[in-house]
A = this chain, B = another copy of it.
């Protein structure tokens, strides 16, 4: 995880114009170019949308899914429950994430996906996706890429959980959230963004206790690395916070290249 550069690339293209409002398309366009036809299909996949309230189970453990869920607005979490009721959140999903693409290939869900806020989602039938792997291989590779980026994020969370102190781990998470949200135009350049998750949820994601997360946040605040009030987060000192977290955004693959 040696860093060659700390900074988020300041040359993140603004990607205005058609479809820029659609976070899913944006997610793809950050990483490769798409033909007009591919863009049209992507927009169509993200078209029909259902609304769900906070705390709704979008995907249930044990089920055999018939469609994959694309998150258009709101936040969701991948949750694993333990016998004694404790839980681990293995991923936080933000607008534009194809939350449940994995289920296309998994025989049976080994975890559930829950909304953390009200969410608008598109449900894409697996048949449709399977057909795309035949008719549009490049677009299919882009979807594959999304799952591979998910995997890269898991790896980074593993590193953070295994080898960083609590403050560094939390800082790493916040840096990641900032970069991911900014890539879909949900974060401002001054490192401010909306993060509507409770400390309990954060503690489940970090594998820490709520009490310790609370104290960790206070510590980050005291060191001038974090402001967080009523779901508004700001990272006032990006250089120091990325340094503490050993954060290097390479793993997010926010680079346009042939895939």
Chain A interface residues toward B at CB < 8 A: 1-4, 61-62, 78, 80-83, 86-88, 90-91, 102, 105-108, 110-111, 130, 133-134, 137, 140-141, 144-145, 147-148, 150-152, 154-159, 161-164, 206-208, 246, 248, 250-251, 253, 255, 257, 259
A181 to B205, CA, bound (A): 30
Q: Known: A158-B88, A162-B206. Contact between A145 and B82, CB under 8 A? A: no
Q: A149: shortest Cβ distance to chain B, in Å?
A: 8
| A248 contacts across to B, CB distance below 8 A | 110
Q: Determine whether the beta carbon of A151 is less than 8 Å from that of B161.
A: no
A sample of 11 more A-B contacts (CB under 8 A), given A83-B246, A90-B158, is A1-B80, A87-B163, A91-B155, A130-B141, A137-B140, A144-B147, A147-B147, A147-B148, A154-B154, A158-B207, A162-B207
In the bound complex, what is the Cα–Cα distance between A248 and B156 (angstroms)? 24
Across the interface, name the chain B residue whose C-beta is closest to A64.
Answer: B257
Give the top 10 A-B pairs by smallest Cβ distance, nearest first.
Answer: A162-B207, A154-B154, A151-B151, A110-B251, A105-B145, A88-B159, A90-B155, A133-B137, A134-B137, A80-B159
Nearest CB of chain B from residue A193's CB, rounded to whole Å: 23
Q: In the complex, how many angstroms separate the beta carbon of A121 from the nearest chain B beta carbon?
A: 20
Chain B residues with Cβ below 8 Å from A81 are 1-2
A86 vs B87: C-alpha distance when bound (angstroms): 28
Chain B residues near A207: list those with CB within 8 A.
158, 161-163
Q: List 13 A-B contacts (CB under 8 A).
A: A1-B80, A1-B81, A1-B111, A82-B164, A82-B246, A90-B159, A107-B257, A110-B155, A111-B155, A130-B141, A133-B141, A154-B155, A162-B206
B158 and A105 form a contact (CB under 8 A): no
Contact A80 B155 (CB under 8 A): yes
Give bound CA distance, A106 to B255, whole Å.
10
A95 to B151, CA, bound (A): 21
Contacts of A87 in B (CB 8 A): 163
